[in-house]
Amino acid sequence: MSSKLLPMRAAIAKYVHDGMTLAVEGFTSGIAFAAAHEIIRQQRRGLTLCRLTPDLVYDQMIAAGCARKLVFSYLGNPGVGSLHAIRRAVEHGVPNALELEEYSHFGMLGRYSAGAARLPFFRCVLIAGRIYPKSTRAFNLLRTRTAAVRLQLCRRSTRT
């Protein structure tokens, strides 16, 4: 059986394309900076970046003009300070305008889970009635026979 391992340059060239949705997750020393930096080097554009808590790696990608949209559940990095490139993109459109889409941590994990399972949605009871449906288009209310239970369907994270 042949190996599926690729050098980072080849993997990004083969699997990351302009306009796609992707998540570069990780925490502290597990953040995939090498992958993000290769995406920047290959000048990918129009990406929708998903991450539970965007931090410096996404700030760098946005500063490099890679992203058009950021999907997240907590925006900030208290350990190193403000994410200046994200702020410039949102407030002033520099280097280009950045659309934001916010979820709870539970909502983001539900979207990832639904996408991984190839399901069209994830049922979210805990976020019903919160502010997110007003600011995020990925929610649909599911009417039930009784008014006692309100369910929301959260669209899966896009598989591209």
Residue-range domain boundaries for the chain? 8-102, 120-155
Annotate the chain with DSSP letters as a single string: -------HHHHHHHH--TT-EEE----GGGS-HHHHHHHHHTT--SEEEEESS--HHHHHHHHTT-EEEEEES----TTT---HHHHHHHHH-SSS--EEEE--HHHHHHHHHHHHTT-SEEEESTTTTSSHHHH-TTEEEE--SSTT--EEEEEPPP--
Is residue 71 within 8 A of residue 49, CB to CB? The reply is yes
Q: Say what the pTM is.
A: 0.80
What CATH number does the domain located at 8-102 have? 3.40.1080.10
Integer Cα distance of 129 and 131 in angstroms: 7
Q: Residues 26-70: pLDDT tens digits?
A: 888 889 999 999 999 999 999 999 999 998 999 999 999 999 999
Integer Cα distance of 66 and 17 in angstroms: 11
What integer pLDDT is reported at residue 149 of this predicted model? 45
For the cut 60, the answer to whether the pLDDT of residue 156 exceeds it is yes
Q: What is the mean pLDDT of the segment spanning 93-106?
A: 90
Is residue 154 within 8 A of residue 138, CB to CB? The reply is yes
